[in-house]
Structures are given as structure tokens and as C-alpha cells.
Chain A
Amino acid sequence: MSDNPFPVDKAGLLEAYRMMKTIREFEERLHIDFAKGDIPGFVHLYAGEEAVATGIMMHLNDRDRIASTHRGHGHCISKGVDVHGMMAEIYGKETGSCLGRGGSMHIADLSKGMMGANGILGAGAPLICGAGLAAKFRGDGGVGITFFGDGAANQGMVLESMNLAAVWNLPVIFVCENNGYAEATSRDYGTAVKSYVDRGAGFGIPGVHADGTDFFAVYEVVGELIKRAREGGGPALLECEVIRFFGHFEGDAQTYKAKGENEYNRANRDCLKIFRAKVTEAGVISDAELDAIDGEVAELIEDSVASAKAAPLPSPKDLMSNVYVSY
């Protein structure tokens, strides 16, 4: 028997940890730099939800497509979008992933199958139906994954897209990242049926729940959903219950959260701590190995910020370039 009890080999576990840690460090740094006024525009941070993006993306390759949300940094990083390009994009610089034209909510990299963060709530759902249809026509075994929050789960286009995906039997997975708050509105207040998997039944697609703070729970469940989609089994809905460490947007005073809620979640429901405890207690990876990754990731983020700050802003003469497509 192998000494590794997990369904991922050691190299994969190290990769998953690096992915989660990169997202966390990226977001923690943006939280600080945004407060200093260094960053134009708006940012919505993904910290606390890393196990979902990572547990899913570990199953995907560049052929598979994702359509993200306004809270998209974690999806981008785990799908392989270059961290330097992302940071420069958020800083609005010419070296950014989208040449500094889009900012946080419009990071995209089609070469990585990342169809874009999206400022419109739920708008990734119809996009992924298109990607799913393309994959189905090509017959290349590709799958599409779209993300939305518990607030966007109530948007009509998410529900319309589930119907479309079911009608066309598309290889797509709808992932509801349920962090309990639609901006500042608790699901207890604003949603009649707060079990988001129930929505699948209305369209005849299976709805499955996973603990979004446990990388291994997400990984195992998503593996089966993706396998089913690649085999022609059609769309599925996955609800992951997650924790949002920060506010809806940076600058959100979070008065709608209970006193001590963030501190409790950081102490007890941090997916990185849970992952670290599992792999070290099993004796598969040492704390020192993970600490080394922490150091490398910190350097990467520091370097990405330095590069972004040093990079040029787009020139006014380029205002209209790379904005419109000629037909």
C-alpha cells in the first residue's frame, strides 16, 4: 500500500497547495494595496474559497473552458493565467492580461481556456453553454465550468442556461459558490429555498453538494461530475458551501456579518489550514515543504506587484485599439 492515502499523488498535492496559496497571497496583497489607493477600479476578493477553484481546476486542461464571475482571481490563477499579467491588469497597466483595458472584473486568457471574469452577475452561465456546445460539436471531450454565487443563483439567465444546457445535453457544470451572502443580503433573507442544488431538479439535471472548505471533498465530487460530462452524461449542478473572508467588495464594512464571524472562519474553516493539517498528519508532506512553497509564493506576488507598478500605463492614443473587433 502506498503511504499516500489521498487520491492525488504528492506532486499533485504540492501543486494544489501552491495554487491555493498563490490565490490567498494574491488576494491578501490586493486587500492591502487597494486600501492604500494603489489600484484603480474595483476588486472583489476570493480569499477563503480557494479549495473550490483548486479542487475543480486540478481536473481540467487548457482545452476545458471556464466562465468566471466578478470574484474571479481564484478561478484565473487556478486555470493557469499568468500571475504577473493578472496583477498588471488589475493595476491597469499595458503589460496586463488584457493590456490593462479590463481590470479585475474582465481578466481573460483564452489560451488557458479562461473565458473571462464577468462584471454581470450570472453572465458566465450562457457563455459556458456556448463553450459546451462547441466542445460537443468538436467531440474533443472538453468540458465547460461556470461559476456563480448564491446571489446570482437567483438570476434568470443562470436558470435559463441550465435549461439550455439540459436541452442540448451539454458537457457543462454549473458551480454555485455559496458564501451565504448576495453582496450584503444573507441567503436567509433573500432566497426562498436556500438549498441551491434543488434548482437542478427543475431542469432534470443532478444537483450535488460539497463542502467547499475541503479540497478533497470538492476534488472527488468534481472528478465524478467531469467524468460524467466527458462521457456524454450532460450537465450537472454543484453547490459548494464556502467562506468569504473579506467583504463583497474591498471597502465593504461587512456590517451584515455576525460579530467575530470572520475571525471564527479564519481560525476554524480556512481551507488552506484544513489542507495543511490533512497532508501533514498523514505524513505525506512536511510543514517545511509547505513553508518553502509559502516563501516562493510570497516572492512571486511581491515580484508581480513590483513589475505591475513599474509597468507603463496604456497610452491615450491606444484608447480605441484592442477594444472592438472588425467584422
Chain B
Amino acid sequence: MTPSVGIIANPFSARDIRRVVADASGVQIAERANAVLRVLAGLYACGVRHAVMMPDRAGLMHHVLRGIARAGNQGLQRYPEVAPLDMPLFGTVEDTRTAAALMRAGGAGAIVALGGDGTHRAVISACAATPIAAISTGTNNAFAEQNEPTVVGLAVGLAVTGQLPAALAFRANKRLDAVIGGQTHIALVDIALVSDRHVGAKALWKPETFRELYVAFADPTLIGMSAIAGLIEPLSRRDAFGLQVIFAGEGRAARARLRAPIAPGLIAPIGVADWRRIAPGEAIVPRLEAGSLAFDGEREIAFSRKDKVSITLREGAFRSVDIAACMRAAATQGLLREDTPNEDAGDGPLLMAASASS
């Protein structure tokens, strides 16, 4: 029997104020359900026959199960059997953590998580060594790479059924740890320190409040905090270091001024006072004494002068499915291809090979 795959789809991502203060998109429940069905179709095509799914109170899983039932009524077998997890629901991020822990304990080969960076962070906080395949249905998502859910399903299916070796299919990722009050909180991409000392609407969209930034990777093709660092020094997910950025203001002169896309459609002038690479394991005490810690672009914890904060980059912190590597290998190894034997292939090639141009 092939391993089961876990499906966690957050119905509540992409709902915050950035739909008003920026031009962010919303993702409707029906569209999220369709994305899950596309993942399931990909999984099934690669041999996965069983999946477990986090239930929810927004109707998302219901729509998925209805789609599966319809295929069954048509006499089609397009999807794996999907079993809802037996778990209490609170409509909070705890649901995601609980589901990820249950999937890990149940031996899921991987967890496909649809949501924003916050959803993916919650999965990773609870899934231990179980690899994650992240799909973005959030706002400023930096962690999830842009992949069609169908293709994510195919790649994960090839990986968990052993058609691709783990060393190729899964990659190790960096993360950032913030320790405050003896508690460790993780970020997948960035930790920003902002002067707002309240969490409120959570989102970050006021550059004048930005004070410090720590990134595990910095990609100028993204939007949000990682993009700010990416415009200074692009840093890949595989580079063995991170970046610390100190913003200008409060008496600090700008060494560089950026025009940075900090939210969808929102490009803001950002003054940067200084930056440097940070090594894994180095515990850094931020300069800001009171403010809020924002993980992957959302204010989560307010802190005051009484609180001791330290930030550390960790290597090899969790595993994810390398979708691009899986699909390249699928192509080169012919995993999704069946060649017709020569004797059945007709009268020869239809196309001539291109000649080398001079």
C-alpha cells in the first residue's frame, strides 16, 4: 500500500486588511476546493490511493468531497480516497497544528499545505521530519513557490511512492528562530521587528514602522519583507547564511534607498541603514527594545523592554518537496512518459532535427 498524503487547506488565509490597504487578491472557498481537487488528481495519477484531510468549518472540505463524489457518480476514478481527520475544530491556527501532528503520527509520506506563509509555518511547527509541499493561497507568500496544484500533486505523488529517491525529491530548508520569554517561535522566511507595540490587524504595510529584518532567504522576485532584503543582496534557499537588515530612521542615515514591493501593488520607499550576512547558529540580540515581532510578514508578538529577544538562523530545520527537481527528474527519467516500441512507431520521424545555426 502506498503511503498516505496529508492535505491541509486553510480556509481563512488571504482575508486580512491588505485587500484594502493594498490591492491584494482574495481566494474564494470554491477556488481553494478546486485547488485541492487538482492536487488529488495529481497524486492519484502517480499512484497515491489514500489521503487524509483536515476538516474545517468554512465548507472547504465539503466542496472537495462533493467533487470526489461527482467523479464517482460518473464512474471515474480520478482521486485517491480522502478520509477526514477525526479532530476537534476551533477555527484557529491550532487546527492546522493539530492536523499536521496527526498526519505525522499517522505516517503520512508528505503534507500538501494550501495557505499563506502562516499556514505553512504552523504545519512545519508540528510535522517534524514529514516533508511539506506548500501551495500559496495567501497574500504576500514568500515560502511557497509558484506551482500549479496539479503539478504539486504529481511531484508529491512521485516522491512519496518512491518513484524518485528522497535525496532528490526532498530538500532541507533554513528557518529563523526567535526566542522570547523562553519560548521559541519560528519563521520560514523572515522576522521583522517593527515599532508598533500592538498586534492589531497583523499585516505589515507601514514602512515607517520597520526597524530591523532577518531573512533566511531573500528573493527579489517576491513581494514583502523578503523582497526588501532581496533588493539588497539576493540570497537563495540553499545559501548557507541569512541576512540582517537595519532600516534607516530614528537617527540612522540611509546607506541605500530602495523602491520595494512590500505588498501586492504597494511599492514603497525604504531606507536601509546597514546589512550583513548572518551565520547559522549565531544568536543575535535585536537593537529594537520595544515593538512587535512579525513572522513571515505578520505581527504576532508585542514585546517591551522587559523582554529578552534573540534571533538565530537554523540550517536543515525542515524538509520540503522540491517540486521543480521532481518534475525535471520525471521528465529526464520518463516517469510520466511511455514510449512506443520502434516497430510500432510508423514510418519514421515527422520532424527533422534542427541544424546548428552559424
Chain A residues close to B by CB (< 8 Å): 1, 5-7, 187-188, 191-195, 197-198, 200-201, 206-210, 214, 216-217, 219-221, 224-225, 228, 233, 236, 239, 241, 278, 282
**Which of A1, A191, A208, A239 has the most C-beta atoms of chain B within 10 angstroms of its own C-beta?**
A208
Chain B residues close to A by CB (< 8 Å): 11-12, 15-17, 19-21, 26, 28-30, 57-59, 62, 91, 195-202, 290, 302, 304
Q: How far is the CA of A278 from the CA of B30 in the complex (A)?
A: 37
Within 8 Å CB of A198, what residues of B? 26, 28-29
Whether B197 lies near A193 (C-beta < 8 A) is no
Whether A197 lies near B15 (C-beta < 8 A) is yes
Whether B19 lies near A208 (C-beta < 8 A) is yes
**Contacts A208-B15, A210-B201 given; does A224 touch B59 at CB 8 Å:** no
Min C-beta distance of A285 to chain B, whole Å? 14
Q: How far is the CA of A198 from the CA of B26 in the complex (A)?
A: 8
Q: A207-B19, A224-B201, A233-B20 are in contact. List 4 more A-B contacts (CB 8 A).
A: A1-B290, A214-B200, A217-B201, A220-B17
Question: Nearest residue in B to A5 (C-beta to C-beta)?
Answer: B197
**Contacts A193-B59, A224-B21, A282-B197 given; does A209 touch B29 at CB 8 Å:** no
**Contacts A208-B15, A209-B12, A217-B200 given; does A193 touch B26 at CB 8 Å:** no
**Contacts A1-B290, A208-B15, A209-B15 given; does A193 touch B20 at CB 8 Å:** no
Whether B59 lies near A194 (C-beta < 8 A) is yes
| Interface secondary structure of B, over-half rule | loop
Whether A221 lies near B201 (C-beta < 8 A) is yes
Q: How far is the CA of A196 from the CA of B201 in the complex (A)?
A: 18
Q: How far is the CA of A313 from the CA of B62 in the complex (A)?
A: 53
Whether A216 lies near B200 (C-beta < 8 A) is yes
Whether A207 lies near B15 (C-beta < 8 A) is yes
Whether B26 lies near A200 (C-beta < 8 A) is yes
Whether B58 lies near A193 (C-beta < 8 A) is yes
Q: How far is the CA of A87 from the CA of B11 in the complex (A)?
A: 41
Query: Which of A194, A206, A210 meets B57, CB within 8 Å?
Result: A194
Query: Which of B16, B29, B290, B304 meets A195, CB within 8 Å?
Result: B29
Within 8 Å CB of B29, what residues of A? 193-195, 198
Query: Which of A6, A193, A195 meets B15, CB within 8 Å?
Result: A195
Within 8 Å CB of A208, what residues of B? 15-17, 19-20
**Contacts A194-B58, A195-B12, A195-B15 given; does A206 touch B26 at CB 8 Å:** yes
Within 8 Å CB of B304, what residues of A? 5, 282
Whether B198 lies near A193 (C-beta < 8 A) is no
Min C-beta distance of B273 to chain A, whole Å? 18
Min C-beta distance of B117 to chain A, whole Å? 17
Within 8 Å CB of B12, what residues of A? 195, 209
**Contacts A5-B290, A191-B59 given; does A206 touch B19 at CB 8 Å:** yes
Q: How far is the CA of A197 from the CA of B19 in the complex (A)?
A: 11
Q: How far is the CA of A197 from the CA of B64 in the complex (A)?
A: 20
Q: How far is the CA of A284 from the CA of B231 in the complex (A)?
A: 39
Within 8 Å CB of A210, what residues of B? 201
Whether B200 lies near A228 (C-beta < 8 A) is no
Min C-beta distance of B119 to chain A, whole Å? 14
Within 8 Å CB of A194, what residues of B? 11, 29, 57-59
Within 8 Å CB of B202, what residues of A? 217
Within 8 Å CB of A207, what residues of B? 15, 19, 26
